[in-house]
């Protein structure tokens, strides 16, 4: 079923743009997140190297500061319940104070076992407890949504703001402070959900009148349902005209608005999404190649193979074998 488009009324789209966000992120995932419980007592400082994917920090108790390793921006003060999302795993420092020297993180500092490790650092001053983690995302072909995010997303804890995110943090804190039966299954699921809660909070923090790019596209009454339609059925014979007709805009107005918000024309995004869908099927499923091609909207294996190799640099079969070997 195609999402219902509601551009003329000016109301929120009936189909939630977060479904598009969920699928975009899922298409980039290459493994389960890594996470570590960091316990610091002042004075303490931890320099975290650049990593693949995206990172996050949740202050469970206490306070600290975060800043890029290169000091390219001002340090950010963090308090209990605050969340920071690091878009591309760039190197950064966590410390009790910006003036505290930071020691480079070393593998031999960490203890614990999956789903979460542990590290204790610092002296005998006031304590801070954090949950730090890394989401494994395909950085070579990031979804355009990820490229538009700021380097650091800071979501301060505020009463009544983003209650679902706050609830997830409360549940995580309870499981980590007092592990019980089932905790090793609950904790990874909560950590996994944090990514969507963080990005939903970021989208909703932007006033509709000020939102630009994907933050606006996911809530736009014409563009969001068009994105959802392409995600819902990438194999459909979408044209700019059919998407424009459904959105309630003229072809030119729709194409212009879509290109401005999403960063590329509608059919260019459709092709990207079709091949992204195919790549995910090749990594995660055992479907025959003709069915992968059909699910991605290609009428023949030959046409699919040619388009896939042009985008990924490998034939679909080679890509599948490499992905399975890497896993």
- Domains along the chain? 17-25+213-326 (1.10.10.60), 30-205 (2.60.120.280)
Cβ(88)–Cβ(152) below 8 Å: no
Asked whether the predicted pLDDT for residue 156 surpasses 60, the reply is yes
pLDDT tens by residue, 111-151: 776 667 888 999 999 999 999 988 888 766 778 888 888 88
Query: What is the share, in percent, of the chain residues with pLDDT greater than 90?
Result: 50
Asked whether the predicted pLDDT for residue 13 surpasses 60, the reply is no
Strands 45-48 and 103-104: parallel
Asked whether the predicted pLDDT for residue 245 surpasses 70, the reply is yes
pLDDT tens by residue, 269-303: 999 999 999 999 999 899 999 999 999 999 999 99
pLDDT, position 82: 94
How far apart (Å, rounded) are the C-alpha atoms in residues 200 and 139? 21
Q: What pTM, to 2 d.p., does this model score?
A: 0.80
pLDDT tens by residue, 263-278: 999 999 999 999 999 9
Query: 29 pairs with which residues across the strands?
Result: 137
Mean pLDDT within 164-180: 88
pLDDT, position 52: 77
Asked whether the predicted pLDDT for residue 5 surpasses 50, the reply is no
Closest Cα to residue 199, out of 146, 160, 163? 146
76-78: strand order across its sheet: 76-78, 64-68, 92-95, 45-48, 103-104
Q: Which two tokens stand for residue 28?
A: 């980039």
Res. 210 pLDDT band, cuts 50 70 90: low
Q: Considering Cα of 251, then 227, then 299, then 317, what sign does the dihedral take? A: positive
pLDDT, position 10: 41
How far apart (Å, rounded) are the C-alpha atoms in residues 32 and 188? 8
**Cβ neighbours of residue 70 closer than 8 Å, sequence gap 6 or more:** 91
Distance set, CA 31 to CA 233, 235, 256 (Å): 25, 26, 36
Asked whether the predicted pLDDT for residue 209 surpasses 60, the reply is yes
Asked whether the predicted pLDDT for residue 183 surpasses 90, the reply is no
Mean pLDDT within 5-27: 60
How far apart (Å, rounded) are the C-alpha atoms in residues 210 and 236? 33
How far apart (Å, rounded) are the C-alpha atoms in residues 142 and 49? 20
Asked whether the predicted pLDDT for residue 17 surpasses 60, the reply is no
Res. 16 pLDDT band, cuts 50 70 90: very low
Q: Residue 155 burial (CB < 10 Å; 0-12/13-18/19+)?
A: buried
Q: Which two tokens stand for residue 285?
A: 């499923």
Mean pLDDT within 108-112: 74
pLDDT, position 76: 95
C-beta contacts of 308-314 below 8 A and 24+ residues apart = 308/275, 308/278, 308/279, 311/272, 311/275, 312/141, 312/275, 312/279
pLDDT tens by residue, 48-102: 988 878 889 999 999 999 999 876 678 999 999 999 999 887 889 999 999 999 9
Distance set, CA 209 to CA 98, 160, 216, 261 (Å): 35, 22, 9, 13
Higher-scoring residue by pLDDT: 1, 214:
214
């Amino acid at each position: 079923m195609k999402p219902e488009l509601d551009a003329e009324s000016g109301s929120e789209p009936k189909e939630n743009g977060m479904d598009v966000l969920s699928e975009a992120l899922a298409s980039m995932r290459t493994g389960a997140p890594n996470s570590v419980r960091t316990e610091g007592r002042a004075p303490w400082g931890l320099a975290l190297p650049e990593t693949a994917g995206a990172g996050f920090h949740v202050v469970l108790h206490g306070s600290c500061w975060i800043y890029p390793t290169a000091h390219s921006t001002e340090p950010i003060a963090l308090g209990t319940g605050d969340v920071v999302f690091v878009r591309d795993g760039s190197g950064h420092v966590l410390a009790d104070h910006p003036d505290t020297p930071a020691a480079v993180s070393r593998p031999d500092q960490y203890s614990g076992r999956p789903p979460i490790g542990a590290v204790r650092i610092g002296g005998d001053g006031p304590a801070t407890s954090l949950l730090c983690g890394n989401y494994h995302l395909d950085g070579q072909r990031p979804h355009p949504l990820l490229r538009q995010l700021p380097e650091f997303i800071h979501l301060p804890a505020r009463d009544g703001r983003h209650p679902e995110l706050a609830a997830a943090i409360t549940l995580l804190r309870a499981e980590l402070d007092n592990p019980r039966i089932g905790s090793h299954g609950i904790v990874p699921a909560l950590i996994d959900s944090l990514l969507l809660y963080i990005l939903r909070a970021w989208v909703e923090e932007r006033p509709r009148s000020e939102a630009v790019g994907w933050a606006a596209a996911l809530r736009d009454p014409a563009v969001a349902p068009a994105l959802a339609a392409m995600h819902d059925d990438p194999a459909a014979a979408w044209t700019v005209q059919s998407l424009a007709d459904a959105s309630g805009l003229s072809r030119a107005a729709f194409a212009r608005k879509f290109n401005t918000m999403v960063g590329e024309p509608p059919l260019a995004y459709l092709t990207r999404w079709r091949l992204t869908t195919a790549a995910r099927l090749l990594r995660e499923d055992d479907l025959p190649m003709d069915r992968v091609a059909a699910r991605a909207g290609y009428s023949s294996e030959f046409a699919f193979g040619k388009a896939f190799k042009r985008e990924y640099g490998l034939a679909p079969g080679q890509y599948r074998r490499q992905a399975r070997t890497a896993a």
